[in-house]
Structure 1
Amino acid sequence: MSFHVPPLPCAAPLRLATGQSLLIDPHPGASATSLEVLEGVARVFCPCEETGGMTLAFLQAGDQLRCDRLCSDGVCVEALTPLSFRRSEHASDEAGFDAVNEWTLQLLRIRHLGSAEQRLHALLSLLVRRLGRRCGAWCDLPFRLTHERIGELIGTTRVTTTRLLSRIRQQELLDVPSGQSGLRLAPALVESAPLAA
């Protein structure tokens, strides 16, 4: 994972290739700025050693990451697909939908489900509902997460995650097309998930 902290110009978009990460360092002038995703899907995570890269949110085109709401260590933005974003100004009293807070709440709700199987089911459904699309007989998710990352999100080990994903694949509810960067999930899996929105 590579981190770099370039200066963020207001108008020019910044691009990250899939797999690249950018450390967003909070600074005194950050209160009036946000990062607006123009294209792609990003994972927002905490860079602190204590949290081990804990995922806070996923962002897509149109979402904003408000720089005045970062922890003192900042946050990292990882490109899950080719990513383009720009710094923009916002009013300090701006209210309304906050994508990072909403994602953090949803991920916290998933972590409180009773079993790892329920948590995985709810996570896959949430990702598809928020970041995927229906395409024929399947729902497509445009990126993949490692089994280790999924384990972090659902509060289990990589080994348990692999076992649970294998079971879903055997039920033909999940397809991982070779040579492609995304996943395909059966609509029945998405629609029957705990905490379905």
Structure 2
Amino acid sequence: MSFRFLPDQPLSCVRMPAGQTVLLDPALRPGGSSIEVLEGIARVYCPCEETEGMTLAFLQPGDQLRTDRLCSEGVCVEALTPLCFRSETEACNDTGFDPVNEWTLQLLRIRHLGSAEQRLHALFGLLVRRLGRRCGPWCDLPFRLTHERIGELIGTTRVTTTRLISRIRQAQLLEAPAGEPRLRLAPSLVESAPLAAA
């Protein structure tokens, strides 16, 4: 894995292009601090070799990642779209909502669905509901994940993921516009997803 380290000193604006990753080392962050996403969408994952980059959460503007709740090896933050966050934020405790815990719970629920097809359907539904938006006859997801990453999220191989996505494309429920970093999904696919009411 390739990443850069986040500087020790608090920063009011860290900008990252899509595809870049930073490592948050909890030993270098003061207790009770967090980073807050200002713009863009990020993937939070574990840098440990044993977990091979396991996705823990996705963050969007307003979400905070508490740096005192990380494993000893820290976590990585990958920019899925151009990203801006600040690292000088004190963690908010007043809402009782932790976006990382919430995402981890939702991803765990998806992993326990019976078939890979159900898990993929539920993942697309969750991503669009939480990070996408409706644009005319389609729902747009402003980033793409590799088939290998989707396979990690739904507990299957890249080959199986590619086969399942091909079926969804053939049913004209998903488009990946050439030269664009986004996906377009049919609202009927999103609305019928398992766990959609959660």
Could you say which TM-score interval applies, normalised by the shorter chain? Answer: over 0.9
Residue-pair matches, total:
197
Query: What SS does structure 1 have at the residue aligned with 2:5?
Result: coil
Q: 1:131 and 1:105 mapped to 2: Cα distance? A: 16
Q: How many Å apart are 1:87 and its aligned residue?
A: 1.3
Query: What SS does structure 2 have at the residue aligned with 1:121?
Result: helix
Partner residue in 1 for 2:161 = 161
Letter in 1 for 2:186: A
Gap regions ≥5 residues in structure 2: none
Partner residue in 1 for 2:143 = 143
Partner residue in 2 for 1:126 = 126
Q: Is the 8 A contact 1:37 1:60 kept in 2?
A: yes
Q: 2:95 and 2:69 mapped to 1: Cα distance? A: 13
1:11-33 CA deviation, whole Å, 9 max, x = no partner? Answer: 52001111000000011653221
Q: CA RMSD in A?
A: 1.5
Partner residue in 1 for 2:112 = 112
Q: 1:92 and 1:136 mapped to 2: Cα distance? A: 36
1:110-130 CA deviation, whole Å, 9 max, x = no partner? Answer: 000000000000000000000
Letter in 2 for 1:54: M
Q: Is the 8 A contact 1:32 1:90 kept in 2?
A: yes
Structure 1 residue ranges, 4+ long, deviating more than 6 angstroms after superposition: none
| Cα pair distance change 1:7/1:193, threshold 3 Å | same
| Cα pair distance change 1:91/1:160, threshold 3 Å | closer
Q: Is the 8 A contact 2:34 2:91 kept in 1?
A: no
Q: 2:47 and 2:11 mapped to 1: Cα distance? A: 26
Partner residue in 2 for 1:14 = 14
Q: 2:188 and 2:94 mapped to 1: Cα distance? A: 39
Of all paired residues, the percent bearing the same amino acid is: 73
Query: What SS does structure 2 have at the residue aligned with 1:30?
Result: coil
TM-score normalised to the size of structure 1?
0.96
Query: What SS does structure 1 have at the residue aligned with 2:42?
Result: strand
Q: How many Å apart are 1:99 and its aligned residue?
A: 0.4
Partner residue in 2 for 1:41 = 41
Q: Is the 8 A contact 1:8 1:87 kept in 2?
A: no
Letter in 2 for 1:71: C
Q: How many Å apart are 1:8 and its aligned residue?
A: 4.9
